[in-house]
Amino acid sequence: MQRASRLKRELSLLTTEPPPGITCWQNENQLDNLRAQILGGADTPYEKGIFSLEIVVPERYPFEPPKIRFLTPIYHPNIDSAGRICLDVLKLPPKGAWRPALNISTLLTSIQLLMAEPNPDDPLMADISSEYKYNKQLFLLNAKEWTEKYASQ
């Protein structure tokens, strides 16, 4: 019960006061299955891209983090080809930094930040990570190309 009322509150806030560049809604009226869109940030290779994400809220939320993955392919060192995201706030301690005080809005904002500031030292995609570290121009070119190919409306 606690989970449902908290989710309703969070969704209502995401609807009335969404973080800039982020939208989130229920998928097919299921409270534990959400969809979100993140707009690629200005001055990033993802600029003008619209990236769709799937959010699955576990039974034990907020004591367990939601599972979030990209549905839109994205060229990024911390996001793999299945859309999985390597980000500490998406994992439980001791490996992760998830706390029940965090919410879906915070997570989506963190993902948006990760898109703008990749962490090549904790990659899911080793090849993209080394490209980011040692040939940034090529990385930017590839990321921009993928954005135009997969995330343009």
Query: What's residue 30's pLDDT?
Result: 85
Query: Coil, strand, or helix at residue 51?
Result: strand
- Of 53, 74, 85, 86, the catalytic one is 86
24 is catalytic: no
Supply the pLDDT for residue 100: 96
Q: Identify whether 62 is preceded by a cis peptide bond (ω within 30 of 0).
A: yes
Which residues of the chain are under the pLDDT cut of 50?
none
Q: Fold for domain 1-151?
A: Ubiquitin Conjugating Enzyme (3.10.110)
Residue 125: Cβ within 10 Å count: 19
What pLDDT shows up at residue 90? 97
Spatial distance between the Cα atoms of 139 and 117, rounded to a whole number of angstroms: 13
Q: What pLDDT digit, counting tens, does each position of 101-139 carry?
A: 999 999 999 999 999 999 999 999 999 999 999 999 999
Q: What is the pLDDT of residue 126?
A: 97
Q: Where are the domains of the chain?
A: 1-151
Q: Where are the beta strands (DSSP E) in 2-88?
A: 22-27, 30-39, 50-56, 67-70
